[in-house]
Amino acid sequence: MTPLQPGDPSRISGYRLLGRLGSGGMGHVYLGQTSDGRKVAVKVIRPEFAADPEFRARFRREASAMMAVSSRYTVKVVGADPDGEPAWLASEYVDASALDAAVHKRGPLPVAGVFRLAAGLAEALDTIHRAGLTHRDLKPSNVLLGRDGPRVIDFGLAVGDHSSGVTRTGIVVGTPSYMSPEQIGGVQVGPKSDVYSLGAVLTFAAVGRAPHGDGPVQEVMLRILHQQPNLAGIDDSLLPMIEACLVKDPALRPASSHVLHVLRTLPQDTPRKPAAPPAPEVPPTQPAPAQPASEAPATVPAFKQRIVRTFPPGKHR
């Protein structure tokens, strides 16, 4: 957090602002406090963007999308006024680093950590998709690494299922390194696009780089459209799942619900409590019991056999 700057408001609605959490081209995010001492993150849009009817509609859509999703791995909206002056949105405050900052500071996550991250993100996406939405901007900076699991944030690009990957003005929306091929191509974008982004985010978490690298936007987009991802260095136990998520044809990618089911049915090779028995195998035709992402197995040797059976190598290219 940095101090408030000259011109920053001291209050937004009933929230007292304590400092800046971040700034972007569209506005600022402040740390706010309620009258009873609870901390919240308050996003305030710049006046010049709030004056644009198309942007105002997008911000209204973001507030609606966040309110429609209820998951332990997304942040909850506690207040919003998309039509206010200024336009603002307040959500629960998560005291955590974003995935990109954590990896840049400490390096890639251990294999077990990537599995825990995958389980939390898959559950968040499954909840988002069940609400009839597509996030469209899942990337490392939009994933907070909370103590009790990850949080997916920033629903500014979220839309109903099967919307185009372009805006009304023809601009491709999203972050190039983590966009799906169909999102780049401007064709219909649905939940499977988020699954591709999931694979890209897990690649970053595992090896510290996006699957098609960085660089000039057009070069990255061309690599996503026409080249296979660079998955060198990813642990063999993670590779089949990430490969399946990164298939270029969305019809051949698994749904977020399927990825979540596989992760939930992992054998508990090393239970966290020695007295607890291992989790039983769950046949794919039966619903899996809910399991928090933070309770994903500490070791994962059995996962490779399960994931290979579910996502056979070479079938998704």
Catalytically annotated residues: 137
Please calculate the CA angle 112-117-119 and round it to the nearest 5 degrees: 95
Distance CA 284, CA 174 (A): 34
Other C-beta atoms closer than 10 Å to the C-beta of 116 total: 23
Angle between helix axes 301-310 and 256-264 (nearest 10 degrees) is 140
Going by C-alpha positions, the residue among 121, 153, 172 that lies closest to residue 43 is: 153
Distance CA 96, CA 22 (A): 13
Q: Amino acid identity, residue 304?
A: K
> Parallel, antiparallel, or unpaired: how do β-strands 188-189 and 163-164 relate?
antiparallel
Distance CA 292, CA 212 (A): 31
Coil/strand/helix, residue 33 = strand
Distance CA 317, CA 313 (A): 9
Which tokens hold the place of 310? 């579910």
Q: Order the strands of the 27-33 sheet from edge to edge.
A: 11-12, 15-23, 27-33, 39-45, 88-92, 77-81
CA distances from 55 to 26, 31, 51, 133 (A): 10, 23, 8, 19
43 is in an annotated binding site: yes
Residues in binding site for ATP: 43
